[in-house]
Structure 1
Amino acid sequence: MKFSINRIKLLEELNKANKIIDTRNINPAFSGIFLEASVDRMVVISTNGTLAFKSILNNVNSDLDINIPGKVLIKPKYVLETLRRSEEEFVNFSVIEDSELKITTDHAEFNINILDADDYPMLGFREKGIVLEIDPREFKKTINQTIVTVDEYNKKLSLTGLNLKVQNNEVIISGTDTFRISQRIIKLEESFDELVNITIPFKTIVELPKLLDNARKLKIILSDGYVTFSIDSVLFQSNLIDGQFPNVSQAFPKEFAQTLIVDSKSFLKALNRADLPNDDGLPPIINLRIENGKIFIKSTISEIGNYEEEFENFKTTDDLDLQISFNAKFLTDAIKTFDSEQIELKFNDSIKPLVVQRANDETLKQVILPTFLGN
């Protein structure tokens, strides 16, 4: 095997492939990145047994020039470090007697031991099935807005990922840890008749936004318990989570006794001031007291002290007096997902969920259960 390629482009693809590798895997071959060159293209593959990555490089997207086709299983740590330290635009790769990889540039030469490419498993990437096309920027934003409520270690397996449902020409992305819910709706521009209801694992969702940077096209392909994300020239495949994701929409209150309209940035700053540090590292409980047309934000840490502030930058629809408490992290996480200046905080009473959304916009909702002091 022998080829030359643009160093920066190869480094980018190897970095993507390396992110999903689990060095603790019992199969030594899974610790490597598999490269296979044919006449006019090279495939970059990695897997950890659950996630699989595949990228196709050619002359157009990476200045690839293949002299001798072949395959190699590289140790990514050393190859990546070599490529990072080099300053050359192009690098040359050649395999010596199936045991060593030689990397050369105009001014340097590196020899690195390799793994046995014959030990690498044959991976089947599913590229046929139900196909859903979504704007990659919109999907990345949606993931970042909803992943905050996913608990990777939840005892209920069905809650350890993000749920993707398609109905009425809308893609509904939901996450919950039973204490809070995130839900974002993406309206499809073209008609989509298939019924889709899948749950994508947390680790897949964590890695996916990194692959969506600067992506031009995204296809989500569903087939037999797998989901494949086709992102330009990259395929990213994952198992799906078994089990029924709960119908979280039923937890959204339909009517509210009071709505506060606040500036998201100034309200978040006030919450951060009330987020007192403590010795056990747990987030404090923040109490909101609404009375006589005023809002007071208070937090108390035992053996340390308390903080109270009157928050003035708000509007209200009613003069309801209310006192309600929340986990500080849950409340700040929810508000950070909104990039608008004004958001609505919708209340009923001290024991029913709070709903956070944009003013007059229900495409993104954050729902938080209150915390009962003394319990």
Structure 2
Amino acid sequence: MKFSINRAILLEEIYKANKILDLKNPNPTIGGIFLELTMDKLTIISTNTVLSFKSVLTNNNADLDINEPGKILIKGRYVIEMLRRLDDQYVNFTAVENSELRISTTSSEFNINILDAEDYPSLGFREKGTILELDGQEFKRTLAQTLISIDEWSKKLSLSGLNVHVTNESVIFSATDLFRISQKTISLTDKETEEINITIPYKTLLELPKLLENAEKLKIVISEGYVTFVINNVLFQSNLIDGQFPNVSAAFPQEFSAVIFVESKKLLKTLNRADLPNDDGLPQIINLRIEDDSIYVKSTVSEVGNYEEEFKDFKLEGTGNLVISFNSKFLLEALKTFDNEPIKLQFVNPTRPVVISKQRNDKLKQVVLPTYLGN
């Protein structure tokens, strides 16, 4: 194998491939990054047996100049470090007797050991199946708005991921840890003829925002037991979670006794002041006493003190005289997903969840259960 390529582009792709590797895997082959060079492209592949990554570089997107095809298996961390230390725009890769890799520029040269490429497993990337096409940046925002409610370590496996439910006109993203629910609906321009209901693992979703950094379009390919994200020249494939995701929409209250209309930024500032630090690092409990023209925000930490503030910059519809308490972490994280927009908080009573959404539409909903204080 022998080729030259744009150093910065290659570094970025190897860095992405290296991110998903499980360095604790006892099989050193799985801990490597597989490079296969043909006469027209360089394919970069990595896997941790659950997630798999594939990137294709060509002359058009990476200034690839091919001299001799071949395949090698590299230790990504060492190659990344070497590429970072170089300043040249282009770098040369040469495999030496299938045991070493020479990385050189006009003035520098590194030699590192490589793994046996023949031992690398053959990975099947699924590019055929039910296809869902979304705006890349909208999907990235959706992840930021919903991942807060996932319990990665839930004993109920179906709760440890993001549920994607596709109907003929929309796709609904839902997550819950049984104390809160995050749900985002995106309308589809093209109607889907097949209903889809899958749950994607949390660890898979954590890696996606990095790949979506500048992506305008995203294609999601769903096949039996797998989901593949196609982003520009990259394929990112993951197993799906088995098990039935709960019907979280059934937990949404339909009738409310009080609705508060408020600027999310203003309410957040007040709640942040009430979120007192404590020695054990546990989330604070924030108590809200809602009256017709004031909301009294109160919190107490035994070893620190207490905080109370009167908040008046809101509009109330319905009946006040409601006292309700929340886990500060859950409530603050929910409010932060609305990007300082006007929101509404819909209340039923002190024991039922609050439903938070934008004033203009309810495409994004955050549902937070109250904390019962026994008073």
TM-score (norm 1): 0.98
1:363 is aligned to 363
Does residue 1:22 correspond to 2:22, yes or no? yes
Amino acid in structure 1 at the alignment position of 2:245: F
2:290 is aligned to 290
Distance across 2 between alignment mates of 1:341 and 1:183: 17
Does residue 1:74 correspond to 2:74, yes or no? yes
Distance across 1 between alignment mates of 2:190 and 2:73: 42
Cα deviation code 1:251-270 (max 9, x no counterpart): 11111111111111111111
Distance across 1 between alignment mates of 2:55 and 2:98: 23
Q: 1:193 to 1:55 in 2, by over 3 A?
A: same
Distance across 2 between alignment mates of 1:305 and 1:316: 30
The secondary structure found in structure 1 opposite 2:10 is helix
2:130 is aligned to 130
1:228 is aligned to 228
2:348 is aligned to 348
Distance across 2 between alignment mates of 1:237 and 1:361: 33
Displacement of 1:304 = 2.2
The secondary structure found in structure 2 opposite 1:28 is coil
Residues 340, 358 of structure 1: 8 Å contact kept: no
Distance across 2 between alignment mates of 1:35 and 1:217: 26
Q: How many residues align?
A: 375
Output aligned runs, 1:220-369, within 5 Å. Answer: 220-369=220-369
The secondary structure found in structure 1 opposite 2:318 is coil
Distance across 2 between alignment mates of 1:312 and 1:293: 6
Residues 293, 312 of structure 2: 8 Å contact kept: no
Residues 168, 194 of structure 2: 8 Å contact kept: no
Distance across 2 between alignment mates of 1:266 and 1:26: 52
Output aligned runs, 1:59-208, within 5 Å. Answer: 59-208=59-208
1:42 is aligned to 42
Residues 257, 319 of structure 2: 8 Å contact kept: no
Displacement of 1:303 = 2.7
Distance across 1 between alignment mates of 2:164 and 2:341: 28
Cα deviation code 1:201-233 (max 9, x no counterpart): 000011011111111321111111000111111
Distance across 2 between alignment mates of 1:320 and 1:274: 21
Displacement of 1:340 = 4.2
Does residue 1:31 correspond to 2:31, yes or no? yes
The secondary structure found in structure 2 opposite 1:255 is coil
Amino acid in structure 1 at the alignment position of 2:174: S
Give structure 1 stretches of 5+ with no counterpart.
none
Residues 292, 316 of structure 2: 8 Å contact kept: no
Displacement of 1:374 = 4.3
Residues 44, 54 of structure 2: 8 Å contact kept: yes
Amino acid in structure 2 at the alignment position of 1:165: H
Question: Taking every aligned residue pair, what percent have the same amino acid on both sides?
Answer: 62
Distance across 1 between alignment mates of 2:305 and 2:268: 21
Displacement of 1:319 = 4.0
Displacement of 1:107 = 1.1
Cα deviation code 1:146-181 (max 9, x no counterpart): 000001001110000000001141000000000000
Residues 293, 319 of structure 1: 8 Å contact kept: no
Distance across 1 between alignment mates of 2:287 and 2:31: 49
Does residue 1:2 correspond to 2:6, yes or no? no
CA RMSD of aligned residues (A): 1.0
Distance across 2 between alignment mates of 1:320 and 1:328: 21
Cα deviation code 1:185-216 (max 9, x no counterpart): 00001111111000000000110111111113
Distance across 2 between alignment mates of 1:92 and 1:115: 19
1:219 is aligned to 219
Displacement of 1:292 = 4.3
Amino acid in structure 2 at the alignment position of 1:93: F
Amino acid in structure 2 at the alignment position of 1:25: N
Q: Decide which moves more: 65-74 or 292-301.
A: 292-301
Distance across 2 between alignment mates of 1:115 and 1:300: 58
The secondary structure found in structure 1 opposite 2:259 is strand
Amino acid in structure 2 at the alignment position of 1:92: N
Distance across 2 between alignment mates of 1:223 and 1:82: 38
The secondary structure found in structure 2 opposite 1:91 is strand
Distance across 2 between alignment mates of 1:73 and 1:54: 14
Distance across 1 between alignment mates of 2:217 and 2:59: 20
Residues 6, 63 of structure 2: 8 Å contact kept: yes
Cα deviation code 1:276-300 (max 9, x no counterpart): 1111100110000112421011111
